[in-house]
Amino acid sequence: MPDFTWETQSPLRKALVVGRHGAGTGAAGVTLREVRDIALVQVMARRGQAAATAKAAKKLFGVEPPTSPKAVTAKTATLIWSGADQFLAFAPHSGDEFYAKLADTFAGIASLSDQSDGRCALHISGPRARDAMAKFCALDLHDTVFPVGAAASTAIDHTNASVWRSADEAGEAVYNLLVFTSFSDSLWHMIADAALEYGLDAGHVSAVQ
């Protein structure tokens, strides 16, 4: 019997060319990272169970899930609002463990949908990140409108995406994107194109530390 091994592959394994691209030679204006090894579960409160779902989430994560377009960071996960009565729980990949824990917590009060492989996570930062984002994202990302912790379900190139802003790094805003896996090759090209004039530093990181 042959050996069966189960390596993972990134949907960006062709599109993502690690390194410095585009204009200039110094520090890139935009840093773009694929975040690999993620776990992602969509949690949808059942009819009339919003409060129970929030309570259960608080118990599991130590924080209430957002009820408006925001992202809340907890110790073990980030909870991102994704629509009425629902949020995404975003965490490092841990086999089935994360999903199983959620399934246990939300049994009977919320429906879950495993999206760990359904989305590709991206991380955009750098001094020109917002200029590049303005080319493909219709959101107003101004500090006063989209501060740290803001989130949105929006459309990028006519497809759904979740966007949230995490803590600033080196005084620069950091934007996180979740896009559909099957679109990610195409969207990566588009985002990279938007960033090239500012200089692009492309790479990937693992969510698992």
Partner 1 sequence: MRIACPFCGERDSSEFSYLGDASPKRPNFAVDSPNSPAEIEDAVFDYVYLRANVAGDMREYWYHGGGCRSWLIAERNTVTHEFKSVTAAPGAGAALAGQAGE
Partner 2 sequence: MSGYTETQPLGRTATADGRASPDRSSAANQSHRLANGGLIDRQAPLQFSFDGKSMSGFAGDTLASALVANGVKLVARSFKYHRPRGIMTAGSEEPSALVEMRTGARKEANTRATTQELYDGLVASSQNRWPSLRRDFMAVNSLLSPIFVAGFYYKTFMWPAKFWEKLYEPAIRRAAGLGETAHLPDPDHYDKAWAHCDVLVVGSGATGLSAALAAGRAGARVILCEEDSHIGGRLLSDGGEIDGMPALDWLRRVTDELASLPNVRIMARTAVFGVYDGGDFGALERVNDHVPQPAEHQVRQRLWRIATRRSVVGAGAIERPIVFPGNDRPGVMMAAAVRTYINRFAAMPGKRIAVFTNNDDGWRTVEAVVRAGGEIAAVIDPRGKVPAAYRALADRSGLRVLPGQVVDVKGGVDGVRSITVATGSSTQNIDTDCLAASGGWNPNVALSSFHRGRPTWREDIAAFVPGVSPPGMIMAGAANGDLSLDACLRTGHAAGAMAAAETGAKGKSGNAAKAADEAFAIQPLWQVKAKGKAFVDFQHDVTASDVTLAQREGFESVEHLKRYTTLGMATDQGKNSNVTGLAIMADARGRSIAETGTTIYRPPYAPVAIGALAGHHRDQNFHAWRLTPSHHWAAERGAVFVDTGLWKRAQWFPLAGETDWLQSVKREVLAVRNGVGFCDVSTLGKVDVRGADAGTFLDRVYINGFSKLAVGKARYGLMLREDGIVMDDGTTSRLAEDHYLTTTTTAKAGPVTQHLEFCRQVLWPELDVQLSSATDQWAQFSIAGPRTRDLLINLVDPSEDVSNEGFPFMGVREVMLRGGMKARLFRISFSGEMAFEIAVPARYGEAMARNIMKAGEPFGVVPYGTEALGVMRIEKGHVAGPELNGMTTASDLGLGGMASKKKDFIGRIMAGREALMAPDRQVVVGIKPVDKARRLRSGAHVVPKGAIPGPETDQGYLTSVCFSPVLDHWIALALVERGRERIGEIVRICDPLRNEDYEAEICSPVFYDPEGGRQRA
Interface residue list for partner 1 (CB under 8 A): 44-51, 53, 68-69, 82-85, 138, 152-155, 158-160
Q: Is 190 in the site for partner 2 (CB under 8 A)?
A: yes
Task: Indicate the burial class of 20 (C-beta count within 10 angstroms; 0-12, 13-18, 19 or more).
Answer: middle
Q: Does 8 bind partner 2 (CB under 8 A)?
A: yes
Question: Choosing among partner 2, partner 1, none, which partner's interface includes residue 3 (Cβ < 5 to 8 Å by kind)?
Answer: partner 2
Q: How far is the CB of 200 from partner 2 (least distance, A)?
A: 9
For partner 2, the binding residue among 51, 55, 97, 113 (CB under 8 A) is: 113
Question: What is the C-alpha to C-alpha distance for residues 128 and 173, in angstroms, rounded to an integer?
Answer: 10
Quote the CA–CA distance of 99 and 38 in Å, as a whole number: 12
Backbone angles phi and psi of 15, in degrees to 5 = -70, -35
Contact criterion met (CB below 8 Å) for 120 and 129: no
Q: How many CA atoms lie within 13 A of 18 on its CB side?
A: 5
Q: How many CB atoms lie within 10 A of CB 112?
A: 16
Distance from C-alpha of 176 to C-alpha of 126, rounded to nearest angstrom: 13
| Distance in Å, CB of 184 to partner 2, minimum | 8
Q: How far is the CB of 156 from partner 1 (least distance, A)?
A: 9
Taking residues 69 to 108 in sequence order and writing x for each that binds partner 2 by CB under 8 A, - otherwise, the string is -----------------x---------x------------
Kindly list the residues in this chain that would bind partner 2 in the complex (CB under 8 A): 1-11, 13-14, 22-23, 42, 44, 46-48, 86, 96, 111-119, 131, 134-135, 137-140, 142, 145, 157-159, 180-183, 185-187, 189-190, 193-194, 196-197
